[in-house]
Amino acid sequence: MCGIVGVVSKSPVNQLLYDSLLLLQHRGQDAAGIATANGNTFYMHKANGMVRDAFRTRNMRALPGTCGIGQVRYPTAGSASSQEEAQPFYVNAPYGIILAHNGNLTNSRQLKDELFRIDRRHINTHSDTEVLLNVLAHELQMASAGYSLDPAMLFKAVSGVHRRVRGSYAIVALIAGYGLLVFRDPYGIRPLCIGKRETEQGTEWMGASESVALEGIGFELVRDVAPGEAIFIGLDGDFYSHQCAHEASLNPCIFEYVYLARPDSCLDGVPVYNARLRMGDYLAKKIERVISAGDIDVVMPIPDSSRPAAMQVANRLGIEYREGFFKNRYVGRTFIMPGQAVRKKSVRQKLNAMAVEFKGRNVLIVDDSIVRGTTSHEIVQMARDAGANKVIFASAAPPVKFPNVYGIDMPTRGELVAHGRSDEEVARIIGADQLIYQDVTAMKQAVRDLNPALTSFEAACFDGRYITDDITPDYLNSLELARLAPAALSERDAGSDSEKAFSQLHLQLSVE
């Protein structure tokens, strides 16, 4: 999961990109990057850390131009600490392309081999974004004729990308001297929307992962980018769109509605906040079936993403709603932190249980989901330490039992607390007196209630169905072996502070 943005403006674009990335900071906290185009020249700055740390005034001044892209990174392929793997990525031929990507390619290894053997292209990092960029560059080179470039050639190149690339991808890319290219994978797994703003100088366009990035800086949400669709916006603001996939279907990642997206965003016609309210409604029905409301004194959320669901649970059950956990807003989102040890340490730094709300009470704690169980165990223990008489834990999402391979960092079965375990066994592991999960069908229906056109979802981590049809047991086993390799353990679980986790190639021109 990452956050991407691309803008074609009538005025300097650097501040617009910076402000947009701040609004998407929840989607990635490991690195940030901005690239702009001024005429035929690209300017780029990227660094590890959050947006406010990656950019100084001098960096912003060095990003001139009225067209640009940006990204906040949460690594699911490659290194969490290598600055070279921060995005955007650049390739000089053909034309000059800079690209940023949200998602995860499931055939990255095959593509990397093809790029070397067939296309004669060298990939210098472990990032699948560099692979995707070079596939696009090759397809654009094959589609173009002569020195000029038109939208039809770009759309032909994107069609070539769709034929070769598997997995999830939402893309923003700059073409030197031409404009902004935006496209989405044929399954529509990762979110991508387009917006505009009318000015005295003309129409400005913006593509972003979430609508909040548009609306927060004064753009109007026009629509979501369709699965398989490509949109090209020229430097003069001309807008072109084309369906580039032979077979496209909308299967949005349902974990976006559960946890990933901001509640004030609207994804594929569904307000995220309303989806979480509906999940609370369905969860309350499940709780009513398995436990007596008289056994619960108070309902409490784990701030912030579970708050809408918890409010609905309390309202439907007629039980008092209280805020028992205080959140330190200066600690990042624990789910997207790169190492298990870092996540565990950060839970108590992020949350503090207020004893006055817990002492002597039977508490129903509502969280958005339970993935590894690390956070849930710490939360339950905090409630007990604060004096809770009984702790019942409810998840607004079903058990996460399967690896996610489409851009969420949960790729090994051994990391998933619910994999191969009953609800009772998970309850014992996290220390709860009772555990209640949302049903898979209810979760999907909660989102579908708000947009009946959504007939299918990417929900593999809950139901084990991988919609790209290329995920085999051997593939999942190879992912786990790679993740559990000593180097991966050193980086992810020890929380490596190394500036460069992988050796990089550095070229230096000698002057005689």
Question: Which among 292, 294, 254, 295 is positioned nearest to 276, based on CA atoms?
Answer: 254
Does a cis peptide bond (omega within 30 degrees of 0) precede residue 469? no
User: 122: which 2 tokens?
Assistant: 């060298």
Residue 193 bears catalytic tag: no
Helix (H) / strand (E) element for 267: namely strand 266-267
Tokens 């002597």 correspond to 360
Grouping H, G, I as helix, E, B as strand and the rest as coil, residue 26 is helix
d(CA 42, CA 68): 9
Cα radius of gyration rounded to whole Å, the chain = 23
Q: Is 359 exposed, middle or buried (0-12, 13-18, 19+ CB in 10 A)?
A: exposed
d(CA 227, CA 223): 12
**179-184 and 220-224 strand pairing:** unpaired
d(CA 119, CA 121): 5
- Catalytic residue among 2, 244, 253, 266, which? 2
Orientation of helix 307-317 relative to helix 272-290, angle to 10°: 40
Does a cis peptide bond (omega within 30 degrees of 0) precede residue 338? no
Check if the beta carbon of residue 180 is closer than 8 Å to that of residue 115. no
d(CA 34, CA 302): 33
Check if the beta carbon of residue 457 is closer than 8 Å to that of residue 251. yes
Question: Which among 105, 98, 100, 125 is positioned nearest to 27, based on CA atoms?
Answer: 100
What is the end-to-end Cα distance of the chain in Å, rounded? 46
d(CA 140, CA 95): 9
Dihedral over Cα of 388, 391, 397, 403: its sign: positive
CA distance to 198, 287, 352, per residue, from 307 (Å): 36, 17, 16
Amino acid making up residue 102:
N
Q: Catalytic residues, which ones?
A: 2
